A = this chain, B = another copy of it.
Amino acid sequence: MNNAPIGVFDSGVGGLTVAREIMRQLPNESIVYFGDMARVPYGSKSKDTVISFSRQIVNFLTEKHVKAIVIACNTASAFALSEIVAETDFPVVGVIEPGAKTADEITANNKVGVIATEGTVKSGMYSKVIKSINPDIEVFQKACPLFVPLVEEGLLYDSITIEVADRYLHDLLSYGIDTLVLGCTHYPLIRRTIQKVAGENVSLVSPAYETAKELEKIISKNNIESSLESAVHRFYVSDSADRFKKLASSILPCDIDEVVHVNIEQYG
Chain B residues within 8 Å of A40, by CB: 44
* A159 cross-chain contacts in B, Cβ below 8 A: 163
What number of copies of this chain does the assembly contain?
A: 2
Complex Cα spacing A39 to B152, Å: 17
Shortest CB-to-CB span from A190 to chain B, Å, is 14
A25 beta carbon closer than 8 Å to chain B: no
- Does A48 sit at the interface, judged by CB under 8 A? yes
Measured in the bound complex, the distance between the Cα atoms of B148 and A160 in whole Å is 16
Q: Which residue of B lies closest to A265 (CB)?
A: B265
Contacts of A46 in B (CB 8 A): 239-240, 242-243
Interface residues of A in 217-248 (CB under 8 A from B): 238-240, 242-243
Which of A49, A243, A268 is most buried by chain B, counting CB atoms within 10 A of its CB?
A49
Minimum C-beta distance from A155 to chain B (A): 8
Q: Find out whether the CB atom of B145 lies under 8 angstroms from the CB atom of A149.
A: yes
Shortest CB-to-CB span from A59 to chain B, Å, is 14
The range of chain A's interface size is 20 to 34
Q: Is the CB of A240 within 8 A of B48?
A: yes
A38-B39, A150-B146 are known contacts. Are A49 and B239 too (CB-CB below 8 A)?
yes
Is A45 close to B, CB under 8 A? yes
Residue on B nearest A159 in the bound complex, by CB:
B163
A145 and B148 alpha carbons, distance in the complex (Å): 11
Q: How far is the CA of A46 from the CA of B237 in the complex (A)?
A: 12
Q: Complex Cα distance A243/B153, Å? A: 25
**Docked-complex contact B45 and A49, CB < 8 angstroms:** no
A129 within 8 A of B: no
- Minimal beta-carbon separation of A69 from chain B (angstroms): 22
Task: Look across to chain B and name the residue whose beta carbon is closest to the beta carbon of A240.
Answer: B46
A236 to B210: give the CA distance in the assembly, Å: 41
Q: Does A37 contact B (CB under 8 A)?
A: yes
Q: Which of A140-168 contact B (CB under 8 A)?
A: 145-146, 148-150, 152-153, 159-160, 163-164, 167
In the bound complex, what is the Cα–Cα distance between A46 and B149 (angstroms)? 17
Alpha-carbon distance A153/B163, docked complex (angstroms) = 15
- Among all A-B residue pairs, the 10 with the closest Cβ atoms: A46-B240, A149-B149, A265-B265, A39-B39, A38-B49, A49-B239, A46-B239, A45-B239, A146-B149, A160-B163
Task: Tell me the smallest distance from the CB of A10 to a CB of chain B, in Å.
Answer: 15
